[in-house]
Structure 1
């Protein structure tokens, strides 16, 4: 019978093994965070970061609420789905085996690292206007957008959608609530599920690198604020006035208008908080949706098709709600696909090279040559 000390030792060993398999992700987060903090300190040593806000909100979700739900579900499985005490003990022993406990504890550390990552991401995002001297590319992106769409701004074409209150409410809810659920809830289950063991490292690295490449690197190099803030950053308040008027709800309860005001006020104050930072190109909403669709396609072709349809919905929503130029979504799709393919190629084991040992036919041919050579020798 396994003693308590032996059980704890085995659980600790399994935890260490699980953590070691995720070391590339942890290392990536550590290096990325050090770089972000260095930028933050160089620009303003007294400037606060977004990490406390993310631990307050994401920490409550990933490290408290969802684990509590997991424990409750485990209790239901043990008590309700079994008929006798012997079966319950067996089920409980399986559910609390050292490898399961080790995976779960490692998952909590991985999720804590993810929270650190998101705090670093938002912190750097709020620094980008200081690094770039404002938002220099809005006019360029708006002109490129119009050029690709027969001389018209796509948002002004899609503005008719806003005339349907029910459709508008659905778009707003989808873009804020449903997208957040689809983007952030699967992380917990991929971190904790045994079925995701072979997928976990690749998923987390792809997830993090998608955010960095799209939301930090490209966003900073080609920084733009988007149609919602076009008038503020360029002085041309007429170009997207009709779109902004459609977005602004006369009843004052538009979640989009409220969040856009929240972002702009935090930008003016120079504060880093939950979800702050303004950048349009490329679209992080579209990029994350595309990444999820690609992983869904690995699960099933039908799920992948549904994911790609959702990507198209997010692209349209981002434009008609004034968050993005259409090209922001187009570029994000390509970049997310490149990141996904690159990480998959890097982490997928390559097939072994063919053996150098001669096959049966080659061996027979060699024997025939040696026999002929011996016969011709004096």
Structure 2
């Protein structure tokens, strides 16, 4: 009886692991089949980062877990964790590498499938919802100290949270919770980052003048130029535009505003943290709010880009919770 109960407990997670694998295999193989040159070039670019990054992430994650949970025997805890979870961790990080490569491939291909067309009406909707351009609202708090917090949170800390959460999940002993998060992350990447980005092809305020030909965001650009840390936006924006103009794949390449993937994953991670601990949830949602604010402050996004991300990710989190735990 005990054996039957134990087997039935893990059968759902095994089924969902298979479903997740098939879903992501389709997503990745689709990118490689539709855009083989872009996909394989991107894979080579990302592989150089991951060959160094995966061991560093794994060792760093194990050491952090040992310091937090190892108590009197952190070395023994670290060794046991590494021995018990290295295969699962490696599979999750490989899944992350493959899906990120496919995501970048689809993102780079957007203008070749659908011309950037949605910026004008997205900006109109933004102004209609808020009664004024949202960037004017968020830039009422302008100061170099505050802008440093916003820019660093958006351009630096967000990436640490994203990679750190993937690493944490890969080492997590709660199998059902791990599968739920990975399914939600896969849907976030594919549904928001690919399908919705393709359906609402747009470039965002930072590129509005270049692609639309109207200097609608002159005030936003002037506000950014007055801030000492605006180079944290200007430099990556110039890098992405140069990559777009060259037509060659590059690390993090591709221009797409709607929806905001920064907001999407910050919200997804906030849901995850809330499911673990109330105070972690408070930190997660505070950070997600800051990223939503920063998406408009930096000029990368319209406010509605973030709102759409929040709605869709909320539906994804609720749906995966209902399905995976059944």
Same fold (TM > 0.5): yes
Deviations 1:176-208 (A, max 9, x none): 1111111111211211232x3231111111112
Map 1:1-378 → 2, pairs under 5 A: 22-41=17-36, 48-62=40-54, 64-69=55-60, 81=72, 101-132=83-114, 134-150=115-131, 152-162=132-142, 164-194=143-173, 196-237=174-215, 239-248=216-225, 254-349=231-326
SS of equivalent to 1:198: helix
Contact 1:226/1:280 (<8 A) preserved: yes
Per mean C-alpha deviation after superposition, the further-off stretch among 306-315 and 183-192 is 306-315
What's the offset of the Cα at 1:258?
A: 0.4
Q: How far apart, in 2, do the equivalents of 1:300 and 1:81 lie?
A: 24
What's the offset of the Cα at 1:140?
A: 0.9
What's the offset of the Cα at 1:154?
A: 0.7
Number of corresponding residues: 313
Could you tell me which residue of structure 2 aligns to residue 11 of structure 1? none
Classify 1:264/1:293 alpha carbon distance in 2 versus 1 (closer, same or farther; 3 Å): same
Higher helix share: 2
Deviations 1:275-330 (A, max 9, x none): 11111111111111111111111112332233222222111111011011111111
* Two-structure CA RMSD over aligned residues (Å): 2.9
What's the offset of the Cα at 1:75?
A: 9.3
Per mean C-alpha deviation after superposition, the further-off stretch among 175-184 and 304-313 is 304-313
Q: How far apart, in 2, do the equivalents of 1:282 and 1:338 lie?
A: 15
Classify 1:180/1:214 alpha carbon distance in 2 versus 1 (closer, same or farther; 3 Å): same
Classify 1:236/1:36 alpha carbon distance in 2 versus 1 (closer, same or farther; 3 Å): same
Greater RCO (Cα-Cα under 8 Å, separation 6 or more): 2
Computing the radius of gyration from Cα coordinates, the structure with the larger value is 1
Q: How far apart, in 1, do the equivalents of 2:297 and 2:63 lie?
A: 42
Q: How far apart, in 2, do the equivalents of 1:278 and 1:145 lie?
A: 20
Q: How far apart, in 1, do the equivalents of 2:222 and 2:85 lie?
A: 51
What's the offset of the Cα at 1:252?
A: 8.6
Q: How far apart, in 1, do the equivalents of 2:95 and 2:163 lie?
A: 14
- Structure 2 gap segments, 5+ residues each: 1-12
